[in-house]
Structure formats: C-alpha cells, structure tokens
Amino acid sequence: MFRPFFIALMLLWVTDGAIADIIVTVQSGTIAEGGTGYVDVYARSTGADSFYLTSYHLKIEEETAGTTAGSLIFREDINQSPTQQTITSPVPYVFQGDTDSAFWGATRLDPAVDEIVGGDVTRSLTDVLLTGSDLLLARLYLQHAVATPGAAVGDRWVIRLMQGGNTYFQYNSVGFSTIDLSSYSTVGTFTVVSAVPEPATGLACAVVIAVLARRFHRRRGLQN
C-alpha cells in the first residue's frame, strides 16, 4: 500500500538531484590605470551538486569596441601561485582544507594573454557539496597596461566564463555536473580608474601648492 508512495518519493528525489545546475558568477570591480588587481569567481548550485574536480576557462573581452588605449590581461606569474586555497573571506575557497599546491594551477593561454584556464581537485578525491551559497572557485590576478597615460581611464572590459571542454565540474570520479547556461552570459565588468598618486608624488604636489599659495599671499601683501 505504501510502496507506490515511497517509489514516487524516490523518483522525485532523483529528479530533483538530476536537474540541479551549477551557476558560476564573475564579480565586477575596478582597476587603477597601469595597476594590478584581481577578480573573484564564485560557484553555487540551483539545488545540490557534489564534485571533487573543477576546471574553468575565462576570457577578458572589451565591453565596447574601441577600448584600445590600454589593455587588461591575466597575470600568469601570480595566478600560478596557490594563494587562493587559504582564502576564507569574504567567501571561502570551495576546496578549503582539502587541497594542496600540487593540485592547483592556472595557466594563461599565451599568446592570448586575455584567456586563462585553471582548476583544482580535492586531495582526498572526496566530493565537496555545493549548495545555494556562493563558494570561491578562483581568485585571478589582473594587470592593466597603459598605452597613453590618462587615455585609458573609463575603459571597460568584461570577464566571462567560456563554454567548452576546459570548463567542467566532475563528481564521483566519473560523472559531470550540468552548468547553468546563464553562467556563460553573466559577466563581471572591470572599469579603469585614475591611478592614485604615489606618496612621494603627492608630497611633491603639496609642496608646490604650498609655495604657490605663499607667493600669492606675499604678492597680495605688496599690492596692499
């Protein structure tokens, strides 16, 4: 009598698990003209997804044609460093406590320095549960190169997840989770802002202003 109910309940559970998708989001930010910065990439699930291995392919694209005064690229030297594995704030790393430097990596696709492929795997080869809360998938470092000083301020780029063989989430050593298609259309936007003057430069400017102000007041005194 109760068997059909439990069968239906089991089918519902399996169906719910099967339709869960992983959503990847790229955060937005700013980068100083000629400076460095980083972009955080988060992952969550529409239901519950387990995986022990991840790979991702990201690309920097101009938001609008004509953004040519400067260039935004991935820094390969820093991105090969596994510093992201210890990040706990504001969002903890997805494989926190179950990974080491031998398993993590991110490689810039030279000469396409605006593309990078990275990934990681749990040291124990045990699946990690991904739910509706964001976890840090990657923190990737950026470099802005200046072509003409001041000309690049206001330029905007987007960073997107690329669809293809280099982006996947694998579970139970054999299966692959489905990635929500919105992950490929949702992008992070980076805007170039004016570089903050170096302390020495700022001090020099203050001295010049003070000298000019003193001369101005002295001239007004002589005129009076």
Q: Is it the case that residue 60 has pLDDT exceeding 90?
A: yes
H/E element, 220: helix 199-223
The verdict on residue 214 lying in a domain is yes
Q: Are 72 and 120 found together in one domain?
A: yes
Q: Are 163 and 216 found together in one domain?
A: no
**Distance from C-alpha of 133 to C-alpha of 92, rounded to nearest angstrom:** 10
Average pLDDT of span 164-170: 96
Task: Give the domain CATH number at 187.
Answer: 2.60.40.680
Across-strand partners of 169? 54
The verdict on residue 10 lying in a domain is no
Q: Are 120 and 166 found together in one domain?
A: yes
Prediction pTM value: 0.79
**Distance from C-alpha of 61 to C-alpha of 67, rounded to nearest angstrom:** 10
pLDDT for 201 equals 40
pLDDT for 114 equals 93
Provide the domain count of the chain: 2
What is the residue range of 151's domain?
Answer: 22-193
pLDDT for 130 equals 97
Q: How confident is the model at residue 36 (pLDDT cuts 50, 70, 90)?
A: very high
**Token reading at 112:** 């396409």
**Token reading at 219:** 């001239």
pLDDT for 70 equals 75
Q: Is it the case that residue 175 has pLDDT exceeding 70?
A: yes
Q: Are 114 and 204 found together in one domain?
A: no
Q: What is the pLDDT of residues 125-155, one digit of tens each?
A: 999 999 999 999 999 999 998 877 777 888 9
Q: What is the pLDDT of residues 8-27, one digit of tens each?
A: 333 333 334 446 899 999 99
Q: Are 104 and 206 found together in one domain?
A: no
